Amino acid sequence: MAPSILAADFSRLADEIHQVEQAGADWIHCDVMDGHFVDNISFGPAIVGFVRKQTKLPLDVHLMIEHADHYVPRFVDAGANSITVHVEPEAKHDVGKTLRQIRDAKCRVGLTLNPETDFKLIEPFLDKIDMLLVMTVHPGFGGQKFRVDQMPKLKRAKSINDRIDIEVDGGINADTARVSIQNGANVLVAGTSIFKTKDYAKAIRDLRGS
């Protein structure tokens, strides 16, 4: 379970992180948006560094930015444990080179594709990553509706490389978590269905189906 702090109350971010950690979170998902690759601006390395000081949980950094290769060193220095970059040409970086850069920095290597992106774009890299993130919403905002039409991508990835983690992100709640797990997901990102509730521990149990 990787709660997405995009939905957290930033006026008391330290408390929010401590609470989801006590509630059973496994990782903390950090959504970095630059207002170019996606139509929204969130936060950068400084906030990831702040999160790093609040918890020992792995930081799962999702870069929705152009020129990720230029910024990877700053997120490594901020304390990221895994860094996930986008495969789309609009992300304006040499994907293979950036994946090696993340690997050489001793971070877990993640790659992701938007719902509109053909799976073919990802296939050449499936043996070079630790985690595939299948976006189940078009990135840029929390609180969007889950796209069940993305499930075949999970199965396809598993059939090609069953050693990598399969992460889903966007519109994950107790029902869509079930569907995602049935299709091969083992990492669930959730923002609204955790931080917009009163009981984080119950929310995480419901998402786990326990």
Mind telling me the catalytic residues? 31, 169
Report the candidate in 140, 184, 194, 144 with the shortest Cα–Cα distance to residue 164: 184
Verify binding: residue 110, ligand DX5, rule CB under 6 A.
Answer: no
Question: Choosing among Zn ion, ligand DX5, none, which partner's interface includes residue 184 (Cβ < 5 to 8 Å by kind)?
Answer: none
Distance (Å, rounded) from C-alpha 80 to C-alpha 115?
25
End-to-end CA distance of the chain: 12
Task: Determine the 3-state secondary structure of 24 from DSSP.
Answer: coil
Verify binding: residue 62, Zn ion, rule CB under 5 A.
Answer: yes
Verify binding: residue 69, Zn ion, rule CB under 5 A.
Answer: no
Question: Choosing among ligand DX5, Zn ion, none, which partner's interface includes residue 6 (Cβ < 5 to 8 Å by kind)?
Answer: ligand DX5
Verify binding: residue 3, ligand DX5, rule CB under 6 A.
Answer: no
- Output the CA–CA distances (angstroms, integers) from residue 60 to 34, 89, 111, 207, in the order listed: 17, 22, 12, 18
Give alpha helix (H) positions in the chain.
13-22, 45-54, 68-78, 95-104, 151-160, 174-182, 192-195, 200-208
Which part of the chain contacts ligand DX5 (CB under 6 A), choosing from 65-73, 103-111, 149-157, 184-192? Answer: 184-192
The nearest distance, CB 104 to ligand DX5, in angstroms, is: 25
Contact letters for Zn ion, residues 14-53 (x by CB under 5 A): -----------------x----------------------
The sign of the torsion formed by the CA atoms of 144, 134, 173, 27 equals: negative
Burial of 13 (0-12, 13-18, 19+ CB in 10 A): middle
Verify binding: residue 172, ligand DX5, rule CB under 6 A.
Answer: yes
Residue in the block written with tokens 């870069």? 63
Report the candidate in 64, 71, 75 with the shortest Cα–Cα distance to residue 41: 64
Verify binding: residue 114, ligand DX5, rule CB under 6 A.
Answer: no
Verify binding: residue 16, ligand DX5, rule CB under 6 A.
Answer: no
Contact letters for ligand DX5, residues 27-66 (x by CB under 6 A): --x-x------------------------------x----
Binding region for ligand DX5 (CB under 6 A): 4, 6-7, 29, 31, 62, 137, 139-140, 142-144, 169-172, 189-193
